[in-house]
Each structure stands twice: as structure tokens, then as C-alpha cells.
Chains A and B, each alone.
Chain A
Amino acid sequence: MNVIEANNVSYQYGRVVALRHVDLAVPEGALYALLGPNGSGKTTLLQILMGSRRAANGRAAILGANVAHMSARDRARIGYVAEGQALPEWMRLSQLEEYLAPLYETWDRSLALELRDRFALDPARKIRTLSRGERMKAALLCALAPRPEVLIMDEPFTGMDALVKDDLVRGLLASSGAEGCTILLCSHDIGELELLADWIGFLDRGTIRLSAPMDRVREEFTRVEVALPADSAATIADGLPAEWMMVESAGRRLSFVLRAESRTAAETMVRARLGAAGQIEFRDATLREIFVALGSEREAQRPTEGVAA
């Protein structure tokens, strides 16, 4: 069952198209990482899912509720954190908690206290005095304390130090795993997403170009290392097809990312192209490599079909 669904969602700022017929499906319990370059429409999509923006067309739903007409009860099941979200600056953190707690039947005061300790937040401090990272922690506390069924996060790691980030990642994994919370997040922190995500989506120029489980994506994107018999890597690299991405060459070694249905198919493709190739090694592409590869696909202006989710 898909907890978050967007069908044919479009949005534009004036004449600038931000989202173009976007389809998105996030299954229950998934930890879905939405990737995309700056300006690709990630934040707009999340704001539409939260009902903060109204899609020009299409329909989006969370937990079966149309996001354009979500009731307060529906919203109580969803946590939302966004970088730059306007918080009530004049409140102390304790006042913010006191204000929010009655709005949620599921607000867990002990969890709020635990998160406050974990994030080293002083409840007596006013929100406006918090640093960027502390503000994000405060926002996270407010989003997590109600124990939401769905958590939507836009750049949640902004301003956080490595220790807290690590702690947060563990917390999110626990929420996703033990409590079955469905999480949709977008972040530039690909390293953290690699640890977290079990689903991945790639949004580019307002279009979803990829949406699939992480293990399938890893199968599909392979980093290929070829040891050539002669010192000809640079020459060969120049003639490789555009689908062979992130090409690196040094002496006899040629490396690239290949998108293929399976590793066997990838090997067949490489052998067919580089018949004289010597030793060929395959390893899973990292999320960063996949991200860059997809980005380079975009640069090459070569539309690719995403793996169906």
C-alpha cells in the first residue's frame, strides 16, 4: 500500500514550470530519499504534499487523504520538517512544545524530553536565539514527538554536526523500522541518505526520472573498472557512448558507471564494446555516483526511462 501518492502533479511559479506531471508513490514503512539538483522541484513537491501549496493540476494524497483538503485529524498523523520553515520566533522551546502538545493526541512528552536531551536543546531559550542547526533540531523535535505515521523532511540535516546527524539517522531508522513510520526526505547530504534510504527517487527539472527500491537501483547502476592491456584508457574514454557515465581514465585503467538491467547485461555490454579488455571488475555504484550519473544524463540531454516503482 502506498502511503504517499502523487499523480500527474504539476506546478509553476509564474511562467517557470517547477513540476511537470509528477507521479510519486511511497510505500508504507519506506524510507524514501528524494534526490535532485538544486531547483529541481523537490521542496515544491514536498510543500504540495503538505498542502502548503496547491498543485496546478493532478492529485496528491497522504494516508488516503487528498492533500488539498486535509483535515486537522489527517495532519496530526503527519510530521513535517523543512529547512527555513517559519517557526514562532518569539516562543521559548518549552512554550512551543506546550502549544503543540494539545494539538496531537499522540504527543509523547517523554519522547520530547528525550529528544530535547539528545539534541542538547535548552527549553528556556527563545527560538529566535537558536542557531541554524538548533532551529532544525527544534523543528525535528516538534515533528517527531507526536510519533507521526508519516514524516516528511526537507533538508533535515542542515546545520547539524556529525554526531547529532548520526544520532538522527539512527533515530529515523528506528522510527522507520520498529514503528513503521513512512519517511519521505530530500537532502543534499547523500552520505546520510545512503545509510538511511531503502527507496530512492530522482527529480530533475520538475520530472521524476527514477523511482525505485534502493537495492534495485544498486543493481541497475554499476561502477565498472576495466584494466586495459595497453596505455589507451584516455583514447577509449573519448569514444564511449553517452550512457556510460562518470568516465574516468588513468593509464591502463578505465572506470565508468553503467546503467543496465543486470550485472550480466552490463558485462555483455562492456565486452561487446571493449573486446580487448582485460580484467573487468564490477561493484555497486554509490548513491553519490548514481546521483552524479543521473545528473550527467541530464547534462547530455538524453532522456532516460526510470525504473518503474
Chain B
Amino acid sequence: MNWIAQVGHVSAKDLRYARWPLVVMLAALAISVRGFLARSAFGPIVSHGSSGTTETLSMSELVVTWLPIVAVVLGVLALAALVQADRWLQADSFWTTRPLAPTAVFAAKLLLALAVILVPSLAAALAVLEALHVSTPTAWSILAHAGIIQLSLLLATIVAAALTSDLKGFVTAAVTLLGGLLAVFVFLDSVFEFGSIPSGVAVVAPLVAVILATVLYRRRTNGRAERAAGLTTALLLLIGTTAAPTFQFTNVATRATGPRLSLRFGAPGPTSMILPFMVSVRDTSPSTAFAFARDQTEISGSHGTQTLTPFHDTLMVGPQFPDIGRPIHWLISPLNFAVMGQLSAAPADARIVEQGATSATLSGMVTVLRPHVLATLPLRDGASAESDGRFIGIYGVSHDSARLSVYVHTVNPPLAGRHMPQFMVANFARGEAIPLDEHPSSSSGGGWLVLPWISVASSFDQLATASRTVPPRDDDWYAGASLVAVEWIPVARYRTSATMRLR
């Protein structure tokens, strides 16, 4: 029997051995996918009791919390059992005295981990992302991130299972490793004031694990050195799961220059530790917004120039009403508003600001954004749409002479670099629209999309017209109206800096 046939032979045996936990794992994945496809996962959860029907504004705990945990735990336990069925560090192990190449036995375990646990999990997640119309590059970036974490976890399982003799021992080892992981972070944080683990660890650790496992399967020795190497590698893999890189397959062009950023100093005064400032961008296009992400601040004055502790915040600057692709009369008077930011000095830097600072220079990245109509839904309870990776649904509409309220439910997978949509109600036949603001009574929650490495956020928002708006009184206006969701899409970036005078 050649090497490949041996891999297939051992895999077939292992598949039969672990078929029940694997079937349950696949069932958990299938139920999870069905929950998302049928939208029952999104909520709201309706329950019927003696006191009537209750609607809970949250996603299904079963689908977004428990099923992902069940799928991962069963996958890990099934793989641990498979590895322990043909352990490499046991002198009386059955397979070691049979005509099997050690690397073929290891490859069989790895093959099952990939083919029966990792790939179906990622395929299930892909099915949900596809159903949410997540763009292909974004879906693959999410899957690549989740795949690295899942692969690291499975390799850590292989290593930990091989170092232990039974599932009880494996669980003990797993708990110890997780404790070790916590200890590593506490140690790094307290001793080195460690910020974050380099993402390279997440890429290197699986390679180290595969090499180590191959060597150990070949050598089949169970000395202290091998055990120490195994435990270190498992720990490294777990550390790597916290640093899995986030891939960006959608490239936003970086320009050398762009419209200039203007900063203006606002109240209360330069001696305060908190300096409000106004941001504006010199641009004439009504359909362009700018997001300024500050990453560096320099304060200058009689003391010279001092760089403050890095502080990241993002400010949106742009038209009050987005361009939604057709002529619209906005039933609200525009505000002459300015986008405000806060120049917050950390306590250590406060004295600099207090002692004669005359100007502040803010540097950062400006992202140029264009409006994109994400979805247009008829304005009625129950209307919903999946678009560009988001689920948007209406779970209530009410209006009176003073206010129009639309209850909107949004579900968002991890869409890196994307902004939350803006909502408005438009009657295109009449060429009129009203922007909606978020009401404080919003409720939001989070969960997981098939796997615990893919987060999904849910938000139940009451969106209402601003107090200065008088909504239409005509019921026909609402009958022909639509809820329009607009998202600002990044189209370009450029680095910029601007200086404002404080005195």
C-alpha cells in the first residue's frame, strides 16, 4: 500500500470511528446555516405565552451563540479522539507496529481536520455570507481570517491530544493551555506593557506545528523535550488565534494628495485638557464625504513641539444629505453644522496644553467616501432585504403629526472598513425625502455567524425624524414611501495634516 493509499485507509478508519460526533457537528452547522438563511437567526424572537405574544429584540441565542460553540467543541473533541486513537508518543500504540508510514498517519489526521471539520465549517459560513450578499472579496477575507484561527485551534488540538492519553487528559490539557494563554497575556501586559501579538505569530505557528508534528510522528519519542516542544507549540497556536490577520482584498486607492483639511479651534479654551476642534474639508462635490482618522497630534508653543500620546478617532465630514441618485427635495432645512472633534490630552500630556500651547497639528488619514444606496424597502412592517453583506428589516412603522418613527433591524457581519448606513424615508413619486436619526432607545447585541471567529452584530433601532421636521400628514405619502439605506463607501485615501491655532 503506497503512502497516499495509507492516508486514505487511515482516514476512512478514522471517519468511521468519529462519525457520530462529526455528524452532530455537521448537523449543528446545518441548523446554524438554515437559521441564517431562513432569517430566524436574526430575530426578533417571538414567544407565545399565557400573557400573550412577546417579541424580544435580539438574535436567536441558539443560532448565534450555542450552535457555533457546539460545532467547534464537537469538532475539537472528535479530532482529539481521532489523534488519540493513533497516538504517536505511546510505546504500546497499535499503529506504530503496523506497516504504516508515520507521516501517513499524521497526514490522515490533518486531512480529516481540514476536510471534515475546517472546510465544512468555512463552507457553512460562506453560504451565510453569500446569502447576505457579502461581496466575494470581503467574504474571502472573512473566511481567511476565520480559517487561520480554526486551523490553529485544530492543530493545537492535534498536538495536545497526542500529548495526552485520553479525552479526560486532553480536556485537562486544554484547560491548562487556556490558563497558560491567559497567564502569557497577563505577563506580557504587566511586564512589557505589551500592546498586541504580532499577526505573524498566527501564520508562523501553524507551520511550526505541522513541522513539529511531522518530526514527532516520525521519531515517536516521548521525552521531556518533545513534550515541552508540543506544549509550547500548542500555546503558540492559541496565542496565534488572538492575532489572526484581517485580510483586506478590497483595495482602496491611496492618493498622494486630496482636498485640504481645515481645523478650527472651538470653546472652551486652550487651558483646558480637552480642546474641541471643528473639521472641514475644502471640496465642492455634494456627493462626497470625508472620514478623517487622526493618528498623530503635535502641540507647539513656547516649550517647543511635543508629540502627544497617539489617539485614534474618526470624524466624518460631508454633505448633510447624501446623494441618492435622483433629484430629491429634503423635507427638512439643512443645518449649518460643523463636525466637532475633541483633542483630548492624556493626563501625562495635559501640562503641555496648559502651559502655553499655541498651535496643534493633527495628522492622519482621510478616506474619501461616496454614497451608495444599499437598499430600498417599502415602508411597511416586515419588509426586509439583504444587500452588500447586511440584513436590513423593518419591524415597525408609526407616524403622527409630530414624528415619523421607523423601527429598523440591521444585521452586520464583520465588514472591515465599512461605515454604518444612514437611513431616510423617501417618496420618489413625489420627489421628497426625510432623513431619520437614531433614537436613544436602540438595542444592539452581538453573536457569531456559524463560527465563533466570525462576529455578527445586530441592532434594533428606532429611527425617527428630527424634532425640527414636520412629517407629511398625508397617509398616501407613506403608502408610496420607501425606507432608503445609504452607505458611504470608501473610494480613496490620502494622508494629510492640518494645523489650528490655539491662541
Contact = CB atoms under 8 A, between A and B. Distances in A.
A103 B17 contact: no
B90 A86 contact: yes
B316 to A, nearest CB: 60
A186 to B, nearest CB: 15
Contact of B85 (A50, A72, A88, A95): A88
A72 B17 CA distance: 23
B98 A86 contact: no
B99 A104 contact: yes
Contacts of B91: 47, 52-53
B17 A90 contact: yes
A52 B92 contact: yes
A43 to B, nearest CB: 9
B39 interface: no
B84 to A, nearest CB: 10
A52 B99 contact: no
A85 B94 contact: yes
Contact of A103 (B93, B100, B220): B100
Interface in B77-116: 85, 90-94, 96-101, 104
Interface string A43-77: 00001001111100000000000000001111110
Interface string B264-292: 00000000000000000000000000000
A75 B97 contact: yes
A275 interface: no
A72 B100 contact: yes
A72 B1 contact: yes
Given A102-B9, A103-B1, A71 B101 contact: yes
Nearest to B10: A99
Contacts of A47: 91-92
Given A103-B1, A103-B99, A54 B219 contact: yes
A184 to B, nearest CB: 14
B92 A86 contact: yes
A242 interface: no
Contacts of A51: 96-97, 220
A82 interface: yes
A118 B128 CA distance: 58
Interface in B1-30: 1, 5-6, 9, 13, 16-17
A71 B98 CA distance: 10
Contacts of B344: none
B221 interface: yes
Nearest to B17: A90
A103 B9 contact: yes
A73 B100 CA distance: 8
Contacts of B90: 86
Contacts of B101: 71-72
Contacts of B219: 54
B92 A84 contact: yes
B98 A88 contact: no
A50 B96 contact: yes
A50 B1 CA distance: 20
A111 interface: no
Nearest to A143: B97
B481 to A, nearest CB: 64
A250 interface: no
Interface residues of B, number: 23
Interface string A100-118: 1011100000000000000
**A-side interface size class:** 20 to 34
Contact of B92 (A72, A73, A82, A100): A82
A233 B92 CA distance: 50
B19 to A, nearest CB: 11
Interface string A25-49: 0000000000000000000000100
A290 to B, nearest CB: 29
Interface string B208-238: 0000000000011100000000000000000
A307 interface: no
Nearest to B12: A99
A47 B222 CA distance: 13
A87 interface: yes
B100 A80 contact: no
A44 to B, nearest CB: 8
A88 B94 contact: yes
A62 to B, nearest CB: 11
Nearest to A139: B94
A87 B93 CA distance: 8
Contacts of B13: 88, 99
Interface in A124-153: none
Interface in B59-83: none
A71 B1 CA distance: 12
B255 to A, nearest CB: 61
B99 A85 contact: no
B98 A100 contact: yes
Contact of A86 (B94, B104, B221): B94
A210 to B, nearest CB: 26
A183 B85 CA distance: 28
B92 A75 contact: no
Nearest to A87: B94
A67 to B, nearest CB: 11
B221 A72 contact: no
Interface string B369-384: 0000000000000000
Contacts of A99: 9, 13
Nearest to B165: A86
Contacts of B93: 52, 86
B94 A52 contact: no
Contacts of A86: 90, 92-94
A17 to B, nearest CB: 15
Contacts of A104: 99
A100 to B, nearest CB: 7
A52 B220 contact: yes
Contact of B96 (A52, A84, A100, A103): A52
A71 to B, nearest CB: 7
A148 to B, nearest CB: 10
Contact of B99 (A50, A76, A82): A76
A100 B6 CA distance: 11
Contacts of B92: 47, 52, 82, 84-86
Contacts of B5: 102
A72 B99 CA distance: 4
A75 B95 CA distance: 11
A87 B97 CA distance: 11
A9 B16 CA distance: 40
Nearest to A98: B13
Contacts of A54: 219-221
Contacts of A73: 99
A5 to B, nearest CB: 18
Contacts of A71: 101
List 4 A-B pairs, minimum CB-CB distance, nearest first: A76-B99, A72-B99, A75-B99, A80-B97
Given A52-B92, A73-B99, A103-B9, 17 more contacts: A47-B91, A52-B97, A54-B219, A72-B6, A75-B98, A78-B97, A84-B92, A85-B92, A86-B90, A86-B92, A87-B94, A99-B9, A102-B9, A103-B6, A103-B98, A103-B99, A104-B99
6 contacts: A47-B92, A54-B219, A72-B99, A76-B99, A86-B90, A86-B94
